[in-house]
Amino acid sequence: MATIEPNAATAPDPNTRTSFPHGNHLLPAEENRYRAMANPAQHDDPQRGDPLAAPSSLPTTVDPGSMTRAQLAALPLTTDVALAIAEQHGVCVRPIAMRRINTTTGRIDIVPVSCGSTRDDHCRPCADKARRLRMAQCRQGWHLETEPVIERATPTETQQELMTARADLFAAYAQCKTNGDEVSCEEIADSVAELDAKLRAAGVRGRLTPLDAPSKPVKRSTRRRQDAPDLPRRPIQRRTVGQVFAGRYRPSTFLTLTLDSYGRVDSDGAAVDPDRYDYLRAARDAIHFPALVDRFWQNTRRCVGWEVQYFGTVEPQKRSAPHYHAAIRGTIPRAELRAITKATYHQVWWPPHDQLIYTDERLPRWDARAKCFTDPDTRTPLPSWDQACEQLTEPTHVIRFGEQVHVKGILGGSEEAGRHIGYLTKYLTKTIGQAAGLGEHATDAQREHIRRLHAELQVTPCSPRCTVWLLYGIQPKGARHSMIPGRCKGKAHQLDHLGIAGRRVLVSRKWSNKTLDDHRAERGAFVRQLLEAVGIHPTHGPGEGPYQWERPAPTDPDIPPRPLLLLHAIAERQRWKAEYTTAQLATHGPLVDNRSATRDQAA
C-alpha cells in the first residue's frame, strides 16, 4: 500500500494550520446570495411561485409531485448547493479524499484535502488562497531594510565520509574505464547511485558530478551585437537592499516591460490588418520571452553594481503578447533602466525553421533498426539537432523589448504599494487566454486574431525536444518512436497559454529568503500562537500525530461522495473560524505580530 507524505500540493502539514482562513473570502455578490439563502423571507421575488425562475427566487417549499419534468430539471442538485456553500466559506470545491492514519493511536480518518489549483475556473477558493500567498510573499520582500542572511550549515562527518567514498569510487571508475572493464564500471555506477541517494538523504544539495562527463556544447560568440548599445559594467557589491534618502526614506521600484509592435491593433487588441500582422515574430517572441527576461536581470545587475532582487509576473496584453511587471527592491534611475532595456536582447541559436518541409499528408517515419526518423520517400535518416546546429553562422531569431518602459517609485507601507501588489497578482488565477480577453464576450476580430496566433504557435518549436522539429526535417533531441511529428504536448502550443509556457511568477532567490512552504508554515505558526495565548487547543494540532497519509483507491468502500466531503470541510472551516474569532476577541486589541497571516493590505 503506497503512502504519500503530506505536502503543499496533496495534504496539509499536520503540525501547522495552513488551511486556516484569514480575512474575508466572500465576494460581495456571494455574501448577498448567502444572506438571501439564510433569510429567504427578506429576499422574496415576485415570481417565487415559478419553479423555472432564478435559483434565488425559488419557493422555500416545493411539491415535486405537482411539477413537470422541465420544472424538476431546473431545480438545483445537492452537489450544486454544496459547491455554492463551499465557495462562500472559502472551502476547496474539488477536495481530494485522503486517508489519514494516526501512527500513535492507530485512528484512521478520511479527510478532504484541498486540490491546490491556481486557476479560478477550476477551484476559486484554492486559487484565491494561492494568490493571497503570493501577495504576502511580494509584500515581505519588497521593502526590506536589512539584508536577508543565508547561513549554510557546516558539513557533518557523515556527509564528508560519503563524499570521500564517492571520490574513491570516481577514481576507480576512471581506471576501470581506461582498462576496458565494463563489468566493474557497471558495479561502480550502481554503488555511486546508492551513495548519491544517501547524500541527498543526509541533506546535501547541489549538482553531483556524473561519472561520465557530458559532451561539451558548441560555444557561440558572446560578443555583443553591433546594433545594440554598450552598457557600463560595475563591480557587484554584496548587498540587496536599496539606498536611504533624506535619512529615512528607502523607496523601491515598480517596472513594466513590453515587447515590440507586430502591427496595428484596435482597441480590443485584434489586428487591424491580419495579413500584414507579423504573427511569426509574435509567436517566436512569446516562446523565448522568459530567456529575454533572464538576460535583462543579468544586464541590470552588471550595470547597477549590486544584487538586484525582484518579484515579477508575466501576463498577456490585449494583443496576446506577453509583458512583464516587476517589483524591484531599491531604486534604479529611470535613465539606466531604459538604457538597459534598450540594450537587452536574446539570440536564438536554433536550426532554421521558416519553411515547412513535411505536412500531415507526408510525415517522417520512425525506423526501428536505425532508431531514428527518416524521410518517407528516400528512407534516409533526418539530420540530428546537433548536426543542424553545427551549420549555423548567425542566430535564427533575435528578440528584444519594445520602446515602452514604465518606471515608478514606490514607498513601503503606503496605500500605493498595496495597490501595486494587487495589480502584480491580478491575473495569476486566470489562464493566458482568459487574461487576454478570450472569453464569451470576445469579438469576431479577437477570435480570428487569436486563431492566427495559435496556428503559428502550432508550427513553432518550443524547445530542442519539441516534435515540431520533425516538420522541418530535423530530429529533436531525445527522439524516440512514440513521438508524433507536429504533435508536441508542450504548454506553449496550447490555446490556454499562447506561447507563455513557463512560470507566471519569477522571484529572485534573496527576495524574502523564504519559500512558499515557509510562508505557509509561518501562517500556521501565527495562528497557533494566537490560539495558545487564549488557551485554545485545536484538534489535530502539533501535539497529535505523527500522521501517515495514503491516497485511497476510488473503489474503496469507505470513500464518501464529494458532497459529503464538501460538507465535512465546511463544518471544519466553520469550527476553525469560530476558534480564531474567539481568540481575536480574547486578545482585546490588534495583533502585534505582523507576519504572513495578517489580512492583506491589497484586494
Q: DSSP for 223-250, please give it.
A: PPPTTS------PPBS--S---BTTTB-
pLDDT for 214? 74
Q: What is the pLDDT of residue 133?
A: 93
What confidence score (pLDDT) does residue 453 get? 95
pLDDT band at 142 (very low <50, low <70, confident <90, very high): very high
| Alpha-carbon gap, residue 131 to 124, rounded angstroms | 10
- In this prediction, residues 66-82 reach a mean pLDDT of 87
Q: What are phi and psi of 249, to 5 degrees?
A: -100, 130
pLDDT classification of 26: cutoffs 50, 70, 90? very low
Taking CA 133 as the corner, what is the angle to CA 127 and CA 136, rounded to the nearest 5 degrees? 145
DSSP state for residue 414 in the 8-state scheme: S
Q: What is the structure's pLDDT at 222?
A: 64
What's the whole-number mean pLDDT along residues 443-472? 94
Residue 341: other Cβ atoms inside 10 A:
21
Q: Read off φ and ψ for residue 367, nearest 5 degrees.
A: -100, 110
Once rounded to an integer, what is the mean pLDDT over residues 408-436?
A: 90
Measured distance CA(40)–CA(60) in Å, rounded: 7
Of 315 and 233, the one with more pLDDT: 315
Task: Give me the pLDDT at residue 75, please.
Answer: 87
C-alpha cell at 126: 484554492
pLDDT at 529: 87
Residue 21 has pLDDT above 50, yes or no: no
pLDDT at 9 over 60: no
CA–CA separation, 254 and 329 (whole Å): 9
Q: How far apart are CA 222 and CA 302, in angstroms?
A: 15
- Residue 189: pLDDT over 60: yes
Judge if the upstream peptide bond of residue 395 is cis by omega within 30 degrees of 0: no
Mean pLDDT of all residues in 348-354 = 93
C-alpha span between 27 and 522 (Å, rounded): 26
> Strand ranges (DSSP E) for 411-541?
505-507
Residue 363's SS3 state is coil
Contact 536, 587 (CB under 8 A): no
User: What was the pLDDT predicted at 589?
Assistant: 57
Task: Please give the Cα distance from 143 to 413 (Å, whole number).
Answer: 8
pLDDT, average across residues 142-162: 86
- Single out the residue of 497, 390, 343, 361 nearest to residue 435, CA to CA: 497
Split at pLDDT 50, 70, 90, the class of 588 is low
Who wins on pLDDT, 179 or 44? 179
- Give residues with Cβ within 8 angstroms of 585, minimum separation 6: none
pLDDT at 220: 67
SS3 271: strand
3-class DSSP state of 404: strand
Q: What is the pLDDT of residues 194-208, one digit of tens each?
A: 999 999 999 898 888
The Cα 294–Cα 502 span in angstroms is 12
To the nearest 10°, the Cα dihedral for 555, 560, 566, 569? Answer: -110
Instruction: pLDDT band for 219, please (50, 70, 90 cuts).
Output: low
pLDDT value at position 31?
41
Task: Quickly tell me which residue has 495559435 as its cell.
Answer: 454
Give the pLDDT confidence score for residue 161 in this predicted structure.
Answer: 92
pLDDT for the residue numbered 600 = 46
Nine cell digits for residue 447? 477570435
pLDDT on residue 20: 34
Is the pLDDT at 465 greater than 90? The verdict is: yes
Taking the C-alpha atoms of residue 230 and residue 381, their distance in angstroms, rounded to an integer, is 44
Q: pLDDT band for position 555 (50/70/90)? A: confident
Residue 72 to residue 65: CA distance in whole angstroms: 10
Which tens digits make up the pLDDT trace of 48-64? 344 334 444 555 677 88
% pLDDT > 90, the chain: 46
- For 308: left if phi > 0, alpha if psi spans -120 to 50, otherwise beta; the answer is beta
Q: List pLDDT tens digits, range 117-137.
A: 999 889 999 999 999 999 999
Instruction: Please report where in the chains the cell 411561485 appears, as a residue.
Output: 49
- Torsion on CA atoms 111, 117, 118, 122, rounded to nearest 10: -120
CA-to-CA distance for 88 and 82, rounded, in angstroms?
Answer: 10
- pLDDT for 534 equals 85
The residue type at 143 = H
Would the pLDDT of 457 be above 80? yes
Name the band, by pLDDT with cuts 50, 70 and 90, for residue 448. Answer: very high
Averaged pLDDT, 161-183: 90
pLDDT at 145 (0 to 100): 86
Mean pLDDT of 183-191: 90
Give ∠ CA 556-558-560 in degrees, rounded to 5.
105
> CA-CA distance, 85 to 38, in Å (whole number)?
11
What average pLDDT is seen over the chain? 83
Residue 521's φ and ψ, nearest 5 degrees, are -65, -35
Q: Average pLDDT for residues 77-96, to the nearest whole number?
A: 88
For residue 13, is pLDDT > 70?
no
All 3 cell numbers of residue 338? 531604459
Point out the least confidently predicted range of 276-290, 432-446, 485-499: 432-446
- Hey, how many other C-beta atoms are within 10 angstroms of the C-beta on 352? 12
pLDDT at 288: 95
Would you state the pLDDT for residue 228? Answer: 79
Residue 257 has pLDDT above 70, yes or no: yes
- Alpha helical stretches, state H, 105-201: 124-142, 157-179, 182-201
391-413 average pLDDT score:
91
| Residues 476 and 483: beta-carbon distance below 8 Å | yes
Q: What mean pLDDT is predicted for residues 91-116?
A: 89
C-beta atoms surrounding 310 within 10 Å? 21
**pLDDT above 70 (res 376):** yes
pLDDT of 538 reads 72
Where residue 444 falls among pLDDT bands split at 50, 70, 90? very high
pLDDT band at 546 (very low <50, low <70, confident <90, very high): confident
Q: What cell numbers appear for 467 in the block?
A: 516534435
> Can you tell me the distance from the alpha carbon of 67 to that of 65, in angstroms, rounded to the nearest whole number?
6
